[in-house]
Amino acid sequence: MNSRALHIIIEPHAASALAQAVLALHMAIAAFIVLGTVAIPLGARFGSVIVRILWWRFAHLIAMGAVALQKLLGNSCFLSVWERRLVDIASEIPHRPPAFQSFGEHVLYWNLPLWFFSALYSLMFVFVATMWFVVPPRQKRAT
């Protein structure tokens, strides 16, 4: 759906609220990936069983892989695209962006070249995949 069609469906005030919701979801996913990447080796070091939960590790690996693949293909994250479209619609009303939106954009969007993110996310994926073998997840044993 293009921006013009989206604009017909969503009014600017609703678009602003939706943009903030998409940004919050994007920040939550980014936090999950970053904190998980740090938590896995630290959790293993300190004997935490949480970092060995299979479904959590699988979700982490898939999320990191999806982010890395998008950048390697030269694509923007679909959440960034949705948010930008919603912000464009919301910009038709005169208002200052909410503090959360300004903060979130500073945290998520760095003014660096695409190759930097492709390399960073690829290295992070390799690290996360390596941790799968160094700190293997475990299935719950039947009792």
Using CA of residue 127, residue 133, residue 135, residue 141, what is the dihedral sign? positive
Q: What percentage of the chain exceeds 90 in pLDDT?
A: 46
CA distance 36 to 51: 8
Q: Please, are residues 125 and 42 in contact by the beta-carbon 8 Å criterion?
A: no
Q: How confident is the model over 4-57, as pLDDT tens digits?
A: 555 567 888 888 889 889 988 999 999 999 999 999 999 999 999 999 999 999
Bridge partners (DSSP) listed for residue 53: 138
Q: What is the DSSP letter of 49?
A: S
